[in-house]
Amino acid sequence: MIDFDKLFLEKVVIHQVGNKVRNEGYQISEKLVSIEDNNLKMILEKYFLQLFVDKDTYNFHHDSEISLNEVYHFTKLVFENSASFYEQSVNIVKHLYNSSDHPNIKSGDFYMVYFTDESNTVKVAGIFKAENKDTFLKVDKDGGSFSFSYEKGLNLNKIDKGCLVISSDYDTNYEVLIIDSSAKTDKSIAKYWEINFLNVRRHQNIEFKTKELLKINDEFSKKILEVELKKKPEKVLEFKKKTYEYINENREFDNKEFLEKVLPSIEDKKKYTEFKQKYEEKHELQPMERFEVSKSALQKSKQNIVSKMRLDTGVDLRITNFEYLEEGYDNDTGMSFVKIFFNSKK
């Protein structure tokens, strides 16, 4: 991943784009935006880059030939000759308009930006659409009195739709990062933005694969071990710990070896294999049978190795170690109990 702090904003243009179904058309700006105020430039750099940190990487896609992907083609021309930036921004906004063919798609402002680093080894084209304006209160002074007024504008901590296309001398493939503020998860990004307009697919690198494997294991523990097979909490926690230990201790994930070491029973192995295959098919993943693991992605998951115990008396327990926990039954009250041993409280 590139260091966004080393990028500098060079070019900006603003157009407007409507909904094609409603025949709203688009409006093309006559020229690029002139930014002479350094403070404004710094604000824009932060606005256009800050929300892309730690986002999953995508790649451009086309069923027959990648050069036929419109956004790939037009941004490639920008990277080859930055003087064509304005011309290609017009081509891209026209393509976005043609992709806005659903009645629910909102009209809005279209921004295209161009970044480079000091050595010009990294070039970034940013494509953004602002569909909503926020209301901002102002305090005005009139003589010795104060009053409120308001203005409509952009929220600097929110981007409705956004995309960064990254070209680097260190990598011949373009990396693509995307944002949709209306999406609850990365998997619910608006189809017209992700598929119709950009036509991108997730880049299934080792970090992505490691994250997806961890999600598979987490969902398997919840949906299959806990709910379907009704395993005891300590057995579910044991699975989570063995999963983490296997991935942490091995440079590569090997699915066959993983099953042998983590899931001893034949039934559990079968359930896991079926669950993993369905998950991969549903999320359009390449079968993850053997791959190098990302230790950085693994470390972020360590905090999820807990087991939850919800009691009918209104008590919830989060347990990371069953060694100092004892369960029993009290004949006097006719109720089960949990006894916890410890040396000190934090």
pLDDT at 66 exceeding the cut of 70: yes
pLDDT for 62 beyond 80: yes
> How many CB atoms are located within 10 Å of the residue 193 CB?
25
User: What value does the mean pLDDT of the chain take?
Assistant: 88
Q: Quote the pLDDT of residue 309.
A: 59
Instruction: Tell me the percentage of the chain whose pLDDT exceeds 90.
Output: 61
| Confidence tier at 240 by pLDDT (50, 70, 90) | confident
Tell me phi and psi for residue 169, to 5 degrees: -65, -20
323 torsion bin: left (phi>0), alpha (psi -120 to 50), beta (else): alpha
Residues in the chain: 346
Its pTM surpasses 0.85: no
Q: Which pLDDT tens digit goes with each residue over 213-237?
A: 999 999 999 899 989 999 887 788 7
Q: Residue 103: pLDDT band by 50, 70, 90 thresholds?
A: very high
Confidence of residue 285 (pLDDT cuts 50, 70, 90): confident
Q: Is the pLDDT of residue 70 over 90?
A: yes
For residue 1, the model assigns a pLDDT of 66
The answer on pLDDT for 326 being more than 70 is no
259 pLDDT higher than 60: yes
Q: What is the pLDDT of residues 2-29, one digit of tens each?
A: 889 999 999 999 999 999 999 999 999 9
pLDDT digits (tens, 9 = 90+) for 264-279: 889 999 999 999 999 9
Determine the pLDDT at residue 188: 77
In this structure, of 55-59, 96-100, 313-317, the range with the lowest mean pLDDT score is: 313-317
pLDDT of residue 165: 97
Q: In this predicted model, what pLDDT tens digit does every residue of 82-101 receive, in sequence order?
A: 999 999 999 999 999 999 99
* Euclidean distance between CA atoms 301 and 299, whole angstroms: 5
Give the separation between CA 307 and CA 239, rounded to whole angstroms: 10
pLDDT over 70, % of the chain: 90
Contact 213, 288 (CB under 8 A): yes
Predicted pLDDT of residue 317: 67
CB atoms < 10 A from the CB of 305, how many? 15
Backbone angles phi, psi at 224, to 5 degrees: -100, -55
| pLDDT above 60 (res 302) | no
The per-residue pLDDT for range 158-215, each reduced to its tens digit, is 899 999 999 987 556 799 999 999 887 666 789 999 999 999 998 888 888 998 999 9
